[in-house]
C-alpha cells in the first residue's frame, strides 16, 4: 500500500509543478496563513504534498493517508462545533 500512496503523492507533485494557476491560488492561501502564524509549530490538517511545510518550515503535517511529508496519519470528523469565548 505504501508504494501506491507514494505514487499518488508523486502524481500530485507533478500536477502541482505543471499547473501555474493552482500554485498561484495556493500560494495566496499560504501567504495568508504564514502572515497570521505565531512562533512555534503549526498543525496542518490535510497536508497533502507538503507544500505549506516547504513554505513555513515548522509545520506538523497530518493527512488521511500515510506519506513521508505527513508526521501524523489520522482522520478527523466533527459532528458539531461550539464557539468558545475567552474571558
Domain that holds residue 37: 2-73
Mean pLDDT score of the chain: 78
Q: What is the pLDDT of residue 60?
A: 85
Average pLDDT of the segment spanning 22-28 = 93
Tell whether 31 is covered by a domain.
yes
48: left (phi over 0), alpha (psi -120 to 50) or beta: left
Tell whether 48 is covered by a domain.
yes
Tell whether 47 is covered by a domain.
yes
Q: pLDDT (tens digit, 9 = 90+) per residue, 50-63? A: 788 888 888 888 88
- Which residues, in sequence order, are CB contacts of 51 under 8 Å at separation 6+? 16, 26, 30
Tell whether 78 is covered by a domain.
no
Tell whether 83 is covered by a domain.
no
Structural domains of the chain, count: 1
Q: pLDDT (tens digit, 9 = 90+) per residue, 61-76? A: 888 777 777 777 777 6
Tell whether 84 is covered by a domain.
no
Tell whether 13 is covered by a domain.
yes
pTM for this prediction: 0.66
Amino acid at each position: 500500500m505504501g508504494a501506491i500512496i507514494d505514487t499518488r503523492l508523486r502524481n500530485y507533485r507533478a500536477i502541482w509543478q505543471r499547473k501555474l494557476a493552482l500554485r498561484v491560488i495556493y500560494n495566496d492561501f499560504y501567504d495568508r496563513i504564514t502572515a497570521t502564524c505565531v512562533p512555534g509549530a503549526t498543525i496542518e490538517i490535510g497536508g497533502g504534498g507538503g507544500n505549506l511545510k516547504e513554505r513555513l518550515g515548522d509545520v506538523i503535517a497530518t493527512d488521511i493517508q500515510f506519506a513521508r511529508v505527513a508526521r501524523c496519519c489520522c482522520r478527523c470528523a466533527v459532528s458539531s462545533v461550539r464557539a468558545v469565548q475567552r474571558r
